[in-house]
Amino acid sequence: MTASEKLDAHLLETIQWHFSPETGCPFWLEWMSKNFDPKTEIKTFADMKKFPHFQDEWLRDLQPEVWVPAAYKGRPFNIFETGGTTGMPKQRIGWEDYKTDYSEFSTKISDEHFPKGGAWLMMGPTGPRRLRLAIEHLANVRGSSCYFIDLDPRFVKKLITNKQFDVAKQYMEHVADQAAVILKNRKVSGLFTTPKLLEALSEKLDIHAAGIRGVFCGGTTMLPQYVRFIVEEVLENKIGFYPTYGNTLMGLAASVPLTPEDNYSITYYAPQPRAVLRVVNPEKTEDTVDYDTWGRVELTTLTKEFFMPRFLERDEALRRHPRAPYEWDGVAEVRPFGAMENKIVEGVY
Amino acid sequence: MSLPHLPVLRKGVPYESLDKIEVKDHRTGEVLATVSQVNAGIIRRDISRIGDARAALKKFTCEQLIEISKKAGELFLTAELPFGDKGHTQTPQQYIETLSRTSGLPHVMVKMNMAKVNDALANMRTVLNGLTRGLDLSVIDIGFGEQAGCPVSYYPTTNCLGLVMPSNSPAVNSLWLPAIALKTPVIIKPGREEPWTPYRLIQAFIAAGAPKEAFGFYPTDHEGSGEVMKLSGRALIFGDANTVAQYKDNPKFECHGPGFSKIIVGDDEIERWPELIDLMALSISANGGRSCINASAIVVPKYGDEIADALAKKLGAFDPLPPTDENAKLSGFANAKMAEFIDSAIEAGLKEPGAEDVTAKYRNGPRKAELDGGVYLRPTIVRCDSFNHTLANKEYLCPYASVVQVPQSEILSKIGPSLVVTAITKDPKFIEEILDSDLIERLNIGMIPTGKISWNQPHEGNMFEFLYKRRSIEVA
């Protein structure tokens, strides 16, 4: 079965699940009553264009219970919130999805860089984010435990929007200082963090000498020159580097190992069939852009816990060809949508 | 042949970034070269390990570095030097053409700036003599010695000098040149439209025998510029009044903001005002009016209207000319929006009562002019009825000056901080008052254009006192 056939099969199963009264959630069942029945309309992934774009306001304005599939009724759920916005956050509920995603991700990182049983340190957004439990699960799957240093990205965004750059810098130092203390006093070999925090930490101590052998990184834009800087200068080509692209709504897209031909351009591949990334023409979002061309990132999430068709991310990326081991399109050099036209607040995190 | 590429120089070692910007001809948009850009993290790393750059310079005596500086000046002026890391070289003529095409400066002004830079290097001994007030430079080599029969010892205040360079005038690079002879590595963030002069100077220094480790050339973004300023133990700041105001009280920074340079005339000399017009016009318009040492206000006790009119008549006739024209007096704008901004700022000021653009009637067209795709600003002389007018004490990147009539007794209380003042007076009492003023950085008494600088006296800050501090010492 090809990846495309697997995706279509998984899609049909997911549609069947979410749009059947015995398994589906109140939101999608109601939606079906006002629109169309996807069970009859959707046969392949190409048919997904019949869905309008998922409105993320629904995740903010509606009570989380509307997203509980009937099959999960009565089971307490985790409430995860999206990254760095202020005001009422968008929430996604879940049960096991994050474990599935991160158990699978564990098979993509090497024992050399993340030794089984070796402790992890997570320095980044914890709080109400899925990432916090996900990283701990990832460590646990590998027989390891995890230390945590929190960073509140909402506070950072507020500081940067208010042009309080000195305070933002102090806060980043405060976070990196705490991580340095842990690394000086505990044996840690695996690190999850954001690129900027990694850089700040490396200015406080020699990360390799402190025992770190692998860095799993995500959170913000990582353009080629910055990746090169991280690999060559921050990690000194001695530490495994695993950039990822992800968020609460998708899970995480792993990157393929860099080759010299990549010139430090990172390509990410969605965890298909559970999530599908397309790079679409912003003016005509049914169409994908040509390969190696910029477009807006569109995410479709297809799990039994959560169905989210055609959500337009606030990111743009280059569409890339499939690359082993992935048989589907990748997204590369992800950056905030409109980054070339507008100044986007990303901050330290 | 491929396009030239200017790499980052990390302690003199070329580094080609994956991020590059294109530097273009300001008139045609033709790309003349690409320039690598680095992120702030690279700058932080390199400055944190700058000690070996200083060690490389310390292997030389100051005398040796003065000789190297002199040779570097000759090479800068005459030699074909490496131009980037793709096998290109640059002759002096190519430098003139490239700089002119990206900055808008006509060739004649680039040549004048080249000569100034060379003079600074050729006269380095004189420059250092002036800065150190005659210190035997072996004191710097050894760390201590004697001056005028007294024991003296100097220690460096920094391991490097940070520079975020402007693009307005290449001669501004002469400000950092003494740092090399004073054994201080430089971390240079070049101006976006003018990476050529610092790069060529660095190549000239290296060809002359200076250790390459002494030179950091870091084209970078806003954050990177901030790190150059913050992490260098000493740094020069260039910018407008607001920028400079943020740093002026911090001894770590030497600020180079607007000059607000002026010509003032005493009661005793004002009757011969027609003889002063050429000097005033030269002070306003030399170097395209782009320097902080250009006069931006003419302050006189009488004949304000007549002087303004005579200046307007003389300067108003200046038209944009092709950059190769030896008679070119105006500089083009690499950033056309800057010209628009200046033009509208002057127009907005003129809407306030009490000011007249006297040049308007003598110009061959509007203030903002175009020639062969380049944007220029013709000279502007504004007659202001008082120093309180918005346009009375302004400085713009073009030949611009106000003419203000003030009684001699009030001149010094009105002029405000002024980088250069040329005082045309022989009145001993007035001269004494002027000498006592703490508002004037450099003072010319008599018929001296504001743009004239002397190598044995710093006209703005003292690089030696900036880079070295004296300590008391006893050696048993």
Listed residue (A99, A105, A134, A114) closest to A247, CA to CA: A134
Query: What gap in Å lies between CA B187 and CA B198, rounded to an integer?
Result: 11
Query: What gap in Å lies between CA A269 and CA B270, rounded to an integer?
Result: 80
Query: What gap in Å lies between CA A193 and CA A171, rounded to an integer?
Result: 15
List helix spans (H) across chain A. 3-18, 26-34, 38-41, 57-61, 97-106, 130-141, 153-161, 165-185, 195-202, 224-229
Q: Do A225 and B17 touch (CB under 8 A)?
A: yes
CATH assignment, B261-445: 3.40.309.10
Question: Residue B146: CA atoms inside 13 Å, Cβ hemisphere, count?
Answer: 4
- Whether the CB-CB separation of A71 and A20 falls below 8 Å is answered with no
In a domain, A44, yes or no: no
Q: Could you give the number of structural domains in chain A?
A: 1
List helix spans (H) across B104-212. 107-122, 124-132, 138-142, 177-181, 196-207
Pairing of strands A146-150, A120-124: parallel
User: Which residue of A lies nearest to B44 if distances are taken between CA atoms?
Assistant: A203
In a domain, A346, yes or no: no
CATH fold label, B5-257+458-471:
Aldehyde Dehydrogenase; Chain A, domain 1 (3.40.605)
pLDDT at residue number B2 = 87
Q: How many CB atoms lie within 10 A of CB A221?
A: 15
Q: What does the angle CA B150 – CA B120 – CA B252 come to, to the nearest 5 degrees? A: 60
Residues of chain A in contact with residue B42, where contact means CB-CB under 8 angstroms, are 229, 233
Query: What gap in Å lies between CA A44 and CA A14, rounded to an integer?
Result: 12
Handedness of CA B294, B296, B302, B307 (dihedral sign): positive
pLDDT at residue number B237 = 86
DSSP one-letter code for B351: T
In a domain, A84, yes or no: yes
Q: Percent of chain A beyond pLDDT 70?
A: 95
Query: CA A230 → CA A216, A332, B129, B330, B337, distances in Å?
Result: 12, 17, 46, 46, 37
Query: CA A255 → CA A261, A290, B8, B231, distances in Å?
Result: 15, 20, 29, 35
Query: What gap in Å lies between CA A276 and CA A7, rounded to an integer?
Result: 9
Q: Residue A14: which residues within 8 A CB-CB, separation 6 or more?
A: A302, A303, A304, A307
Confidence class of residue B459 from pLDDT cuts 50, 70 and 90?
A: low
- Chain centroid to Cα B139, Å, comes to 30
Confidence class of residue A346 from pLDDT cuts 50, 70 and 90?
A: very low
User: Which residue of B lies nearest to A199 if distances are taken between CA atoms?
Assistant: B41
In a domain, A101, yes or no: yes
Query: CA B329 → CA B25, B103, B109, B321, B398, distances in Å?
Result: 19, 14, 8, 8, 10
- Whether the CB-CB separation of B385 and B286 falls below 8 Å is answered with no
List helix spans (H) across B17-78. 40-48, 51-58, 62-78
In a domain, A116, yes or no: yes
Residues of chain B in contact with residue A225, where contact means CB-CB under 8 angstroms, are 17-19, 37-39
Question: Choosing among A197, A225, A235, which should be mutated to test the B contact, i.e. which has the most B CBs within 10 A?
Answer: A225
Q: Does A339 touch chain B (CB under 8 A)?
A: no
Residue A224 C-alpha, separation from nearest chain B C-alpha, in angstroms = 7
What are the φ and ψ backbone dihedral angles of B185, each rounded to 5 degrees? -60, 155
DSSP one-letter code for A242: E
Question: What's the pLDDT tens digit per position in B161-211?
Answer: 999 998 878 989 999 999 999 999 999 999 988 999 999 999 999 999 999
**In this structure, what token pair is assigned to residue B416?**
């405000």
Confidence class of residue B249 from pLDDT cuts 50, 70 and 90?
A: confident
Handedness of CA B319, B325, B331, B336 (dihedral sign): positive
Question: What's the pLDDT tens digit per position in A79-114?
Answer: 999 865 667 889 999 999 999 999 999 999 999 999
Q: Where are the domains of chain B?
A: 5-257+458-471, 261-445
Residues of chain B in contact with residue A229, where contact means CB-CB under 8 angstroms, are 39, 41-42
Q: What does the angle CA A223 – CA A224 – CA A229 come to, to the nearest 5 degrees? A: 100
- Whether the CB-CB separation of B140 and B363 falls below 8 Å is answered with no
State the complex-level ipTM: 0.85
Question: What's the pLDDT tens digit per position in A197-249?
Answer: 999 999 999 999 999 999 999 867 899 999 999 999 999 999 999 999 988 88
Which of B18, B42, B48 lies nearest to residue A224, judging by beta carbons? B18
- Whether the CB-CB separation of B105 and B21 falls below 8 Å is answered with no
Q: Percent of chain A beyond pLDDT 90?
A: 85
In a domain, A109, yes or no: yes
Confidence class of residue B331 from pLDDT cuts 50, 70 and 90?
A: very high
CATH code for position A304: 3.40.50.12780
Question: What's the pLDDT tens digit per position in B135-148?
Answer: 999 999 999 999 88
pLDDT at residue number A345 = 46
Task: Annotate A258-286 with three-state secondary structure.
Answer: CCHHHCCCCEEECCCCCEEEEEEECCEEE
Query: What gap in Å lies between CA B216 and CA B157, rounded to an integer?
Result: 18
